Amino acid sequence: MTMTAPTRPVSATQKPLCLALLGPTASGKSEFALELAERLNGEILCLDSTTVYKGFNIGSAKPSPSQQKRVRHHLLDILEPNEDFSAGKFVDRAQVAIDDIVSRGKIPFVVGGTYFYLRALQFGMNPVPTIAEEIVDEIEKQYAGEDENIDTVKMHADLTVADAKAAQNIHVNDKYRIVRALAVIRATGKKLSELEPVHKEPAHANRIWMKYSMAISRHALSAQIVSRTDAMIAQGLVEETKNLTAAYPGARALGSIGYYEAGCYLRKELDDKGLRNGIIEKTRQLAKRQLTWIRSDAEIRFVDSRDGDRVAKEVENLTFVLKENV
């Protein structure tokens, strides 16, 4: 039996309900979220640091046009590739999107694998003090090689020693965030992870969250990572990277998994096999980190693709209770 969530707007006294659907990359959460959002009158807010950029389509596994027609998506293609994006900017835009979705009587589905962004949205984030440009320049010069390319692997390793908790939440290719974390230590003597979290908008903490994550066996996840990597390469990942590099050579998202390896391939630092294996290995490492973050959150319940009816019923029951308590 098909279940449909109420469509009336949430009252001023009712706490809005938000769903988060997480999971390691390639675990099938996008399709599961689409099916649930269709059944429950929801809209999807993308929890991702790369799909916000125009043109980054193949390597980010951005929802296809047909998927976007099925359910309205938010925070997709909202920035040019040379614009900066951060957890703070995600929170600002997500707050606006969630309020808009709720005001129209729909349920926000926060879907993706960037768990750090969800934590910032739910619980606030560490305030980053203003850092002098000279300090940033010093750090970048310290890790620059003869070709002036910055060794993010060494930088990330040093950050792991200085602030392991912060390093765990930053990808090894994310130069911007690694530099920022090191700069905070150098400028203030404090670890980024130890700064007291603050909410930009305390009122927005007054939400009810239902959080789920896709459960998938290690073997099945590994197979899906391989399959998705092959599909991305076949769909034109290298050509997409070539075009983006030519138009936006300094774009941060070019350091993300898939684009980084394709860039190495274009510079002849990797051959065909190295490109494929590099993406697969980095994606597996990312999935492992994502699972570690997810398992640390006691609020998250694990589901699989067969649990649509159960989740829909749980959401419908809670929606009914919230409505009756107004």
The answer to whether residue 87 is domain-embedded is: yes
Do 47 and 164 belong to one domain? no
The answer to whether residue 60 is domain-embedded is: yes
The answer to whether residue 309 is domain-embedded is: yes
Do 112 and 201 belong to one domain? yes
Q: What is the pLDDT of residues 141-162, one digit of tens each?
A: 898 876 667 788 899 999 999 9
Number of domains in the chain: 2
Do 256 and 179 belong to one domain? no
The answer to whether residue 183 is domain-embedded is: yes
What is the pLDDT at residue 8?
Answer: 45
Question: What span, in angstroms and rounded, lies between the C-alpha atoms of 298 and 279?
Answer: 31
111's tokens:
């879907």
Task: State the CATH number of the domain containing residue 93.
Answer: 3.40.50.300
Instruction: For residue 284, give the DSSP letter.
Output: H
Question: What span, in angstroms and rounded, lies between the C-alpha atoms of 271 and 241?
Answer: 15
Beta strands in the chain (DSSP E): 17-22, 42-47, 73-74, 107-112, 208-214, 300-303
174 or 120, which is more confident: 120
What is the pLDDT at residue 1?
Answer: 40
The answer to whether residue 143 is domain-embedded is: yes
3-state helix, strand, coil in the chain (%, to 5): 55, 10, 35
In sign, the C-alpha dihedral spanning 247, 252, 256, 261 is positive
Do 161 and 89 belong to one domain? no
DSSP string for 3-40: -----SPPPTTSPPEEEEEE-STTSSHHHHHHHHHHHT
| Angle between helical axes of 87-103 and 115-123 (0-180°, round to 10) | 70
223 — pLDDT class (breaks 50, 70, 90): very high
User: Which residues 6+ apart lie within 8 Å of 55 measured at CB?
Assistant: 81, 240, 243, 244, 247
165 — pLDDT class (breaks 50, 70, 90): confident
Do 209 and 220 belong to one domain? yes
CB contact at 8 A, 218 and 291: no
194, 212, 244 - which closes a domain? 194
What is the pLDDT at residue 21?
Answer: 97
Do 201 and 102 belong to one domain? yes
What is the pLDDT at residue 311?
Answer: 95
Question: What span, in angstroms and rounded, lies between the C-alpha atoms of 193 and 266?
Answer: 36
The answer to whether residue 12 is domain-embedded is: no
The residue to which tokens 């294996």 are assigned: 277
Do 203 and 90 belong to one domain? yes
Do 111 and 243 belong to one domain? yes
5's tokens:
């969530």
Strand order across the beta sheet in which 208-214 lies? 73-74, 42-47, 107-112, 17-22, 208-214, 300-303
Residues 83-106 have a mean pLDDT of 93
Please give the single-letter amino acid code of residue 280. Answer: I
Do 267 and 312 belong to one domain? yes
The answer to whether residue 11 is domain-embedded is: no
DSSP string for 158-177: HHHHH-HHHHHTS-TT-HHH
Do 231 and 276 belong to one domain? yes
Q: Poorest-confidence range of 7-16, 95-104, 277-286?
A: 7-16
Mean pLDDT, the chain, rounded, equals 88
What is the pLDDT at residue 265?
Answer: 98
pLDDT higher than 80, residue 128:
no
Do 98 and 166 belong to one domain? no
165, 194, 223 - which closes a domain? 194
Q: Poorest-confidence range of 96-100, 165-169, 301-305?
A: 165-169
194, 217, 246 - which closes a domain? 194
Task: State the CATH number of the domain containing residue 180.
Answer: 1.10.20.140
What is the pLDDT at residue 204?
Answer: 52
- Please give the residue range of the domain that contains residue 176: 133-194
Q: Could you give the C-alpha distances from 15 to 11, 67, 74, 206, in angstroms and in order?
A: 8, 29, 21, 6
CA distance between the termini of the chain: 27
The answer to whether residue 1 is domain-embedded is: no
Percentage of residues in the chain with pLDDT exceeding 90? 64
What is the pLDDT at residue 55?
Answer: 97
Longest dimension (CA), the chain: 67
Please give the single-letter amino acid code of residue 217. Answer: S
Do 301 and 153 belong to one domain? no
Q: What is the pLDDT of residues 192-202, one digit of tens each?
A: 888 766 554 54
Q: Could you give the C-alpha distances from 282 to 98, 117, 251, 275, in angstroms and in order?
A: 32, 20, 20, 11
pLDDT higher than 70, residue 205:
no
